[in-house]
Chains A and B, each alone.
Chain A
Amino acid sequence: MSFFARFAQNRGALIGLIILVAIILMALLAPVLYPESPWRMVQRPFLAPMEVEGFWLGTDTMGRNVAAGLMHGAWVSLLIGLVSTVVALAIGVPLGAVAGYYGGLIDDALMRFTEFFQTIPNFALAIVLVAIMQPSVTSIVLAIALVSWPPVARLVRAEFMSLRHREYVEAARLVGQTNRTIILRQILPNTLSPIIVLASLMVATAILLESALSFLGLGDPNVMSWGYMIGAARTVIRQAWWLSFFPGLAILLTVLALNLVGEGLDDALNPKLARERS
């Protein structure tokens, strides 16, 4: 069975993929459909959805177009989610690989370091980091990456630990392959599927973290984001609940879609190799 056929067997994953593609399209089409800055005041404030043509989600407290904000926000959410995950992988994979492969004192030291980061409440750490570095896309990406790499390191370490005594790895040592070759060619390729699955879930978590940061007013002041939209509308929730409702729904759908896709990837990537033995 092909990879996609296995993936598509999970109906939820297929739905997730469709939602995700729609959101990616939203992000890509934002500058085409709403070329103006989403920060610009374009109508009178507090327009309800559908009240005025062209403003199908209404306007916010400052008369900005909510639909434009939503579409531009999609871009920011996906970007920050993706980039911070890549950065977290770049920290976690090498750390976990080295700790798991060499074991011993190196492992001890690296794992203490990882545990330290895991003990610190990660949202609080992200808040402190962004607050002190000053909010910007870069500081947000860094803060999210810094709080999300420990699970990667632990996963990769666990995989390496179980694989390094696998007989084919010992055979590779015995025929004289170098540690570098063994790590990169023998072990790493066999840990990729759980890493890919974890990464898709991390993008989702990163999007949640980003939205929570901007909700608290720690978003990049130059880019429109969903979390900011909810935070800004919070004080007027009694008058205009929809201002908070739609951006929240967008976050929910994006995160849901990524989780569904992650589960589908898990189904498609992992079971066969494991079950082959029986």
Chain B
Amino acid sequence: MLYARLILSRLAKAVVVLFLIVIFNFFLIQMAPGDPAAILAGEAGATDEEFLRQLRERFGLDQPLHVQLWRYVSGIAMLDFGWSYRQQMPVLDLILARLPATLLLTGTAFVLSLALGIVAGSLAAARVKKPSGSLIMALALVFYATPLFWVALMAVVLFSVYLDWLPAYGMVTVGAGHTGLAMVLDVGKHLILPATTLALFFMAIYTRMTRASMLEASQQDYVKTARAKGLSPGVIQRRHILRNALLPIITLAGLQAGQMVGGAILTETVFAWPGIGRLMYEALMQRDYNLLLGIFFFSAALVIVFNIITDLVYRLADPRIKEGS
């Protein structure tokens, strides 16, 4: 009951946010220098005047602004994201075809970064002021400061070009025609480099946060109580300190979702991973604004879904939230 209510209220909020993004998109197109029809068609320069006239009519660009807005919004409400003139396909189909690859990449990177980050952060917290703890934090800081696309390129140089261990591009071996388990392994092999490079930055964030959060939690009175009971340090670390320290990390993980999507754009571009990030780069190169804005909308929707999930997880983890019931 409580969850149903929560999800409902979150969905209501999500609809509002998405609606605002649609309006924002609409005005972006209006703001762009040049003829909106040309922009929607993906033509930056001079185009056939007759073609543009047809476009204007088709999109209703000759109508007053509020009518255009209404048409645009109601179109998207019916899941009509328009037409990509460059790719000669509906924007929605293009995005849906690429979505699974992005979900696979970001999902893997998310789990990887969270797991490694929490482990590394706990270790660093337990070894505070010792060389090993400082080393973990120094590494985390370096990863945090490294441009994602650059690590990706350097990983290609090292692991594909020089060592020739892992494939550098794509999601499957072209022409291999693997099926079943062989395909899964093939995709897995292609996934290693992009997922790891995408995870590094977030791992650094979670490591720093876990350590800070655990050091903070270890100062709390209840830890002194636990010690006064005669509990062993290991039990205190796990049951009392880590459990409490994880709460702010769940919140942070939710906030990082948007960053993850941004990171995916760069990673997919470098590794030619066929997801919506790569699609966004292609749209950018081809000045395919309709597609660009469609992807922008979808990436925001992804973030919202992810936020709702972390919210639910938080509620499971913290009994105090249920107080209202």
Listed in ascending order, the chain A residues whose CB lies under 8 Å from chain B are: 116, 118-125, 127-129, 131-134, 204, 208, 211-212, 215-218, 227, 230-231, 234, 237-238, 241, 244-245, 248, 251-252, 255-256, 259-260
Is B104 part of the binding interface, using a Cβ–Cβ cutoff of 8 Å? no
A211 nearest CB across to chain B (Å): 5
Report chain B residues within 8 Å CB of A121. Answer: 257-259, 261-262, 299-300, 302-303
Q: CB-CB contacts of B141-161 with A at 8 A, as 1s and 0s?
A: 110111111100110110001
Interface centre among B141, B148, B257, B262 (most CB of A within 10 A): B262
The answer to whether A124 touches B153 (Cβ under 8 A) is no
Assembly CA distance A204 to B292 (angstroms): 27
Q: Residues of B contacting A231 with CB < 8 Å? A: 149
CB distance from B47 to the nearest CB of A (A): 18
Chain A residues near B114 (CB-CB < 8 A): none
CA distance A128 to B32 in the complex (A): 11
- Given A119-B17, A216-B284, A259-B145: A230 and B153 within 8 A (CB)? yes
A256→B263 contact, CB < 8 A: no
- Interchain nearest-CB distance for A68 vs B (Å): 20
A116→B280 contact, CB < 8 A: no
Is B259 within 8 A of A212, CB to CB? no
Q: Cβ of B255: which chain A residues have Cβ within 8 Å of it?
A: 118
Q: Sample 20 A-B pairs with CB under 8 A, ordered by A number.
A: A116-B17, A119-B300, A119-B303, A119-B304, A121-B259, A121-B302, A124-B265, A132-B32, A211-B147, A212-B266, A215-B266, A217-B284, A231-B149, A234-B153, A237-B161, A241-B157, A241-B161, A256-B141, A259-B141, A259-B145
Residues from chain B with a CB closer than 8 A to the CB of A237 are 153, 156-157, 161
| In contact, A251 and B258 (Cβ under 8 angstroms) | no
Lowest 6 A-B CB distances belong to which pairs? A123-B262, A248-B150, A121-B258, A255-B145, A256-B145, A121-B261
Answer whether residue B20 sits at the interface, using C-beta atoms and an 8 A cutoff: yes
Once the chains bind, are A217 and B300 in contact (CB under 8 Å)?
no
Cα of A131 to Cα of B281 in the assembled complex, Å: 11
Assess the A118–B269 pair: CB atoms within 8 A: no
- What residues on B are CB-neighbors of A245 within 8 Å? 154
- Contacting A at CB under 8 A, from B75-89, are none
Within 8 A of A (CB), among B217-256: 255
Pairwise interchain contact B284-A127, C-beta atoms closer than 8 A: yes
Contact A252 B303 (CB under 8 A): no
Q: How far is the CB of A197 from chain B (nearest CB, A)?
A: 14
Is the interface on chain B under 10, 10 to 19, 20 to 34, or 35 or more residues? 35 or more
Q: What separation, in Å, do the CA atoms of A122 and B257 have in the docked complex?
A: 10
B29 to chain A: which residues have CB within 8 Å? Answer: 132
Q: Roughly how many angstroms separate A128 CA and B17 CA in the complex, as a whole number?
A: 17
Query: Within 8 Å of chain A (Cβ to Cβ): is B193?
Result: no
Nearest-CB residue, chain B, relative to A131: B284
A259: chain B residues at CB < 8 Å are 141, 144-145
A129 to B25, CA, bound (A): 10
Contact A230–B259 (Cβ < 8 Å): no
User: Which residues on the B side are within 8 Å of A208 (C-beta)?
Assistant: 145, 147
* Chain B residues near A127 (CB-CB < 8 A): 265, 280, 284, 292, 296
| Additional pairs, 4, CB under 8 Å, beyond known A124-B258, A237-B161 | A116-B20, A122-B262, A124-B296, A211-B147
Residues of A within 8 A of B292 (CB): 127-128, 131
Q: B131 in the interface, Cβ–Cβ < 8 Å? A: no
Q: Is the CB of A133 within 8 A of B32?
A: yes
A71 to B136, CA, bound (A): 32
When chains A and B are docked, how far (Å) is the Cα of A121 from the Cα of B153? 23
B135 contacts chain A at the CB level, 8 A cutoff: no
Are A252's CB and B142's CB within 8 A? Answer: yes
Are A212 and B303 in contact (CB-based, < 8 A)? no
B125 within 8 A of A: no
Residues of A within 8 A of B95 (CB): none
Asked if residues B147 and A251 are in contact (CB atoms below 8 Å), the reply is yes
**Contact A122–B153 (Cβ < 8 Å):** no
Residue of B nearest to A128 (CB): B296
Are B17 and A252 in contact, with the CB atoms below 8 A?
no
In the complex, what residues of A have CB within 8 A of residue B289's CB?
131-132
